[in-house]
Amino acid sequence: MTVTVQVLFDHPQHEIASLLRDRLTRCAKASLVAGFMTVEGIEAIAAPLRAHPGKLAHLVVGAATWRAFDALDRLLVAGVAPTALHVHLGHTRPTGTNRHPFARYHPMLHSKVNLLDMGDGQAAAFVGSHNLTGFALHGKNGEAGVLLEGPANAPQFVALRQHLHEAVRQAVPYDPGMKEAYAWWTMQFIDGLYAEANGDLPKDAENMRTILVLAAYTCGRLPRPGQIIYFEIPEALDRIQSMQAEVHIYVFPTLPPTSSLALASLGTAIARLSCKVEGIEAGRGGIELRADWHIENRRRPELKPTVLPFRPTPASGMQQVRVRVQGPVAGQYEYLFDPGKIAWAPIYDREGALVATPDEESARETELALFDTPARVDAPWQRVRGLQRAKPAGSDARQLALWESTPDSEAFILFSPRRRKLTPRRERSERADTP
């Protein structure tokens, strides 16, 4: 008799808890290995183990929450042998520093194997990505695995038993008095992973405020050093910030359809003008101003020579800015439109939501009975189809003005609080990525 293989499943989000409970109910012995465990996960399969505690030969976990370890205590109370429970603490190494004397982000046990002795010389094994968590077992995570069934002496099951025995050998026996220590060890890994992910973010940006103007140009001549250019920005950005900011004006023969595309195409600009703020007028105070050029319409700006006398009619809520051309922009920059800590928000897909299964409803009732915790909101999990910068509250005029001066607002006169000077290698990469 050969080993049969069933792929689990043809859809990534598919509950597996009922299938695993069924095999646990019918098996003679069970050995489980998981990289991560939560209380929702262990409770999803705990009923047959509490009913027949002698079935559990081994349970090895690589990391878990405090409440998950507390759930192991309830298995001990139900009669599971203390020798069956193990915690794999992974591998780490000394760092030689006082702040973090060991590597927090470290290799860990990440196996997902559920090996079941079904009696009469038969075995079954769930092998695959499902950890012992509620999201995995109740079909909320995208997961994949296989179910093997066949003779217990088949090579596949022999290899899995060897894998499991080695995991047990490397682990330490579970000690109920060490729950806090085990949970702390889990948090050390999570904190180390956070530091690792955060450490990958570029940190070479300079906090130089830049007013950025992306404009079309149809005249035969370009602004010269010493000439003055007029445009408008929101008053809520405030006068002081605007006076301290540098001004970079990029002139295109044809303006790209969006400011994001224009920013990606700065290398194609026919002029890159570095300017200094000459003066700012608020409250429509600039009745007649000296200017050689002006830029109208923040949504589709065009650089035009002024007609004297120059008497602009600023829009409500805008401040009038005049800048003097100093010369070309030195080097190339990546302009950033966040203060350094970016707030992102998910873009929801209204279709394909994940709803609670009957198993989850039952688990929620059990959780309430065990922990006396408030009921969780049973709202569907909506698929996220993208990320966008979080829009500021509309009541905060300045924050709204900052958002309206980013590419997300589709404006072409922008305010960048930070920028990153591109090295020659990065300049080539940026040009290669330009559409």
| pLDDT tens digit sequence for 54-87 | 999 999 999 999 999 999 999 999 999 999 999 9
Asked if 293 contacts 305 with a C-beta cutoff of 8 angstroms, the reply is yes
Q: For CATH 3.30.870.10, list the domain ranges present in the chain.
A: 4-94+106-199
Name the pairing type of β-strands 293-296 and 302-305. Answer: antiparallel
**What's the rounded mean pLDDT across residues 393-404?**
65
Asked if 71 contacts 194 with a C-beta cutoff of 8 angstroms, the reply is no
Asked if 240 contacts 330 with a C-beta cutoff of 8 angstroms, the reply is no
pLDDT band at residue 13, thresholds of 50, 70 and 90?
very high
pLDDT per position as a tens digit, 217-249: 877 789 999 999 999 988 877 654 556 789 999
* Superfamily for the 4-94+106-199 domain: Endonuclease Chain A (3.30.870.10)
193-207, 269-283, 316-330: range with lowest mean pLDDT:
193-207
Confidence check: pLDDT of 175 > 50:
yes
| DSSP character string of 168-182 | HHHSEE--GGGHHHH
* pTM attached to this predicted model: 0.70
For residue 95, give both structure tokens: 């760092």
Question: DSSP secondary-structure letter at 393?
Answer: P
Sign of CA dihedral 253, 215, 419, 201: negative
CA distance 26 to 46: 14
Looking at residue 362, its amino acid is S
Rounded (10°) CA dihedral 226, 230, 236, 240:
20
Asked if 60 contacts 32 with a C-beta cutoff of 8 angstroms, the reply is yes
pLDDT per position as a tens digit, 337-387: 877 767 789 999 988 899 887 777 666 666 555 555 554 556 899 999 999
Looking at residue 359, its amino acid is D
The whole-number pLDDT of residue 2 equals 94
CA distance 262 to 251: 10
Asked if 295 contacts 256 with a C-beta cutoff of 8 angstroms, the reply is no
The whole-number pLDDT of residue 396 equals 64
The whole-number pLDDT of residue 240 equals 44
Residue given tokens 């955060």 in the structure block? 198
* Helix or strand holding residue 250 (H, E): strand 246-252
- HSE-up (13 A, CA, CB side) for residue 260: 5
CA distance 417 to 413: 13
Asked if 97 contacts 4 with a C-beta cutoff of 8 angstroms, the reply is no
pLDDT per position as a tens digit, 39-53: 999 999 999 999 999
Residue given tokens 């700006």 in the structure block? 301
CA distance 299 to 317: 16
Q: 189 or 308: whose pLDDT is higher?
A: 189
